[in-house]
Amino acid sequence: MIIQEDEVMVSFDVVSFFTKIPVELALEVAQCRLMDWTEFENHTNWSIEDVGQGGKICLESTFLHVRGKNYKQVFGMAMGSPVSAVVANIIMEDIESRAERNCPENNKLPFLSLIRMGLEPSCKSVLYS
Protein backbone atom coordinates (compact mmCIF):
# COMPACT_ATOMS: atom_id res chain seq x y z
CA MET A 1 0.00 0.00 0.00
CA ILE A 2 1.37 3.40 -0.95
CA ILE A 3 0.36 6.38 1.14
CA GLN A 4 -0.13 9.54 -0.87
CA GLU A 5 1.07 12.97 0.34
CA ASP A 6 -2.47 14.04 1.25
CA GLU A 7 -3.21 10.81 3.16
CA VAL A 8 -2.46 9.78 6.72
CA MET A 9 -2.12 6.26 8.07
CA VAL A 10 -3.50 5.70 11.55
CA SER A 11 -3.26 2.77 13.93
CA PHE A 12 -5.35 2.26 17.02
CA ASP A 13 -4.02 0.01 19.76
CA VAL A 14 -6.59 -1.46 22.09
CA VAL A 15 -5.38 -1.94 25.66
CA SER A 16 -7.45 -3.94 28.16
CA PHE A 17 -10.39 -3.70 25.79
CA PHE A 18 -12.80 -6.03 27.59
CA THR A 19 -12.53 -4.18 30.87
CA LYS A 20 -13.02 -0.80 29.15
CA ILE A 21 -16.35 -1.63 27.47
CA PRO A 22 -19.31 -0.52 29.59
CA VAL A 23 -21.74 -3.42 29.97
CA GLU A 24 -24.66 -1.10 29.16
CA LEU A 25 -23.07 -0.13 25.83
CA ALA A 26 -22.34 -3.77 25.00
CA LEU A 27 -25.94 -4.76 25.69
CA GLU A 28 -27.34 -1.83 23.71
CA VAL A 29 -25.20 -2.51 20.62
CA ALA A 30 -25.86 -6.27 20.74
CA GLN A 31 -29.61 -5.68 21.09
CA CYS A 32 -29.58 -3.30 18.11
CA ARG A 33 -27.78 -5.95 16.04
CA LEU A 34 -30.40 -8.53 17.00
CA MET A 35 -33.24 -6.15 16.14
CA ASP A 36 -31.66 -5.55 12.70
CA TRP A 37 -31.38 -9.28 12.04
CA THR A 38 -34.49 -10.22 10.08
CA GLU A 39 -34.03 -13.97 10.65
CA PHE A 40 -33.90 -13.79 14.48
CA GLU A 41 -37.38 -15.23 15.05
CA ASN A 42 -36.64 -18.17 12.73
CA HIS A 43 -33.76 -19.34 14.93
CA THR A 44 -35.14 -19.17 18.48
CA ASN A 45 -38.31 -19.00 20.55
CA TRP A 46 -36.69 -16.43 22.81
CA SER A 47 -37.55 -12.76 22.55
CA ILE A 48 -34.84 -10.16 22.02
CA GLU A 49 -35.56 -8.99 25.57
CA ASP A 50 -34.92 -12.52 26.91
CA VAL A 51 -31.62 -12.72 25.03
CA GLY A 52 -30.75 -9.29 26.44
CA GLN A 53 -31.44 -10.46 29.99
CA GLY A 54 -29.28 -13.55 29.45
CA GLY A 55 -26.54 -11.38 27.99
CA LYS A 56 -26.74 -9.06 30.98
CA ILE A 57 -26.30 -11.98 33.39
CA CYS A 58 -23.31 -13.26 31.42
CA LEU A 59 -21.66 -9.86 31.07
CA GLU A 60 -22.18 -8.88 34.70
CA SER A 61 -20.80 -12.17 36.06
CA THR A 62 -17.38 -10.74 36.71
CA PHE A 63 -16.25 -12.66 39.77
CA LEU A 64 -12.74 -14.07 39.89
CA HIS A 65 -10.60 -16.00 42.34
CA VAL A 66 -6.93 -15.03 42.72
CA ARG A 67 -4.47 -16.39 45.29
CA GLY A 68 -7.18 -17.63 47.61
CA LYS A 69 -9.28 -14.44 47.49
CA ASN A 70 -12.52 -13.68 45.67
CA TYR A 71 -12.90 -10.46 43.71
CA LYS A 72 -15.57 -8.79 41.58
CA GLN A 73 -14.52 -6.80 38.56
CA VAL A 74 -16.46 -3.54 38.95
CA PHE A 75 -16.35 -2.15 35.40
CA GLY A 76 -16.47 -3.59 31.91
CA MET A 77 -16.85 -7.08 30.58
CA ALA A 78 -15.21 -10.09 32.14
CA MET A 79 -11.77 -11.09 30.93
CA GLY A 80 -11.67 -14.77 29.99
CA SER A 81 -15.39 -15.03 29.27
CA PRO A 82 -16.11 -16.43 25.79
CA VAL A 83 -19.02 -14.03 25.36
CA SER A 84 -16.73 -11.02 25.99
CA ALA A 85 -14.73 -11.71 22.82
CA VAL A 86 -17.88 -11.95 20.72
CA VAL A 87 -19.33 -8.75 22.15
CA ALA A 88 -15.98 -6.94 21.77
CA ASN A 89 -16.07 -7.79 18.04
CA ILE A 90 -19.60 -6.41 17.80
CA ILE A 91 -18.50 -3.21 19.56
CA MET A 92 -15.52 -2.81 17.21
CA GLU A 93 -17.82 -3.24 14.20
CA ASP A 94 -20.13 -0.59 15.63
CA ILE A 95 -17.22 1.82 16.16
CA GLU A 96 -16.00 1.23 12.60
CA SER A 97 -19.50 1.72 11.22
CA ARG A 98 -19.93 5.01 13.09
CA ALA A 99 -16.50 6.21 11.94
CA GLU A 100 -17.27 5.33 8.34
CA ARG A 101 -20.70 7.04 8.44
CA ASN A 102 -19.22 10.22 9.93
CA CYS A 103 -16.18 10.38 7.67
CA PRO A 104 -16.42 12.82 4.73
CA GLU A 105 -16.83 10.96 1.43
CA ASN A 106 -13.45 12.11 0.09
CA ASN A 107 -11.71 10.77 3.24
CA LYS A 108 -13.14 7.24 3.35
CA LEU A 109 -10.63 4.74 4.64
CA PRO A 110 -9.96 2.16 1.92
CA PHE A 111 -8.92 -0.55 4.37
CA LEU A 112 -12.02 -0.56 6.57
CA SER A 113 -13.54 -3.35 4.50
CA LEU A 114 -10.41 -5.44 5.07
CA ILE A 115 -10.65 -4.95 8.83
CA ARG A 116 -14.33 -5.87 8.76
CA MET A 117 -13.64 -9.09 6.89
CA GLY A 118 -11.71 -10.35 9.91
CA LEU A 119 -14.34 -9.36 12.47
CA GLU A 120 -17.69 -10.28 10.93
CA PRO A 121 -17.24 -14.02 10.56
CA SER A 122 -16.38 -14.61 14.20
CA CYS A 123 -19.27 -12.44 15.31
CA LYS A 124 -21.83 -13.91 12.92
CA SER A 125 -20.82 -17.51 13.53
CA VAL A 126 -21.87 -17.16 17.16
CA LEU A 127 -24.84 -14.80 16.97
CA TYR A 128 -26.23 -15.40 13.52
CA SER A 129 -25.77 -19.05 12.67
Per-residue pLDDT tens digits for 26-74: 888 888 888 888 898 899 999 999 998 998 888 888 888 889 999 888 8
Q: Is it the case that residue 106 has pLDDT exceeding 80?
A: no
User: Any idea what the Cα angle at residue 8 is, between residues 6 and 13, rounded to 5°?
Assistant: 175
More confident residue, 82 or 106: 82
- Residue 83 near residue 55, CB atoms below 8 Å: yes
Give the pLDDT confidence score for residue 45 in this predicted structure.
92
pLDDT tens, position by position, 110-122: 544 444 443 333 3
Answer whether residue 66 is part of any domain. Answer: yes
Q: Would you call 39 helix, strand, or coil by DSSP?
A: coil
Q: What is the DSSP letter of 79?
A: T
Please give the residue range of the domain that contains residue 96: 19-127
Per the structure, how many domains does the chain have?
A: 1
Does 11 fall in a domain? no
40 located within any domain:
yes
Residue 12 lies in a domain: no
In-domain check, residue 13: no
User: ∠ CA(16), CA(19), CA(22), 5° rounding?
Assistant: 130
Across the chain, mean pLDDT equals 75
- Assigned domain for 8 exists: no
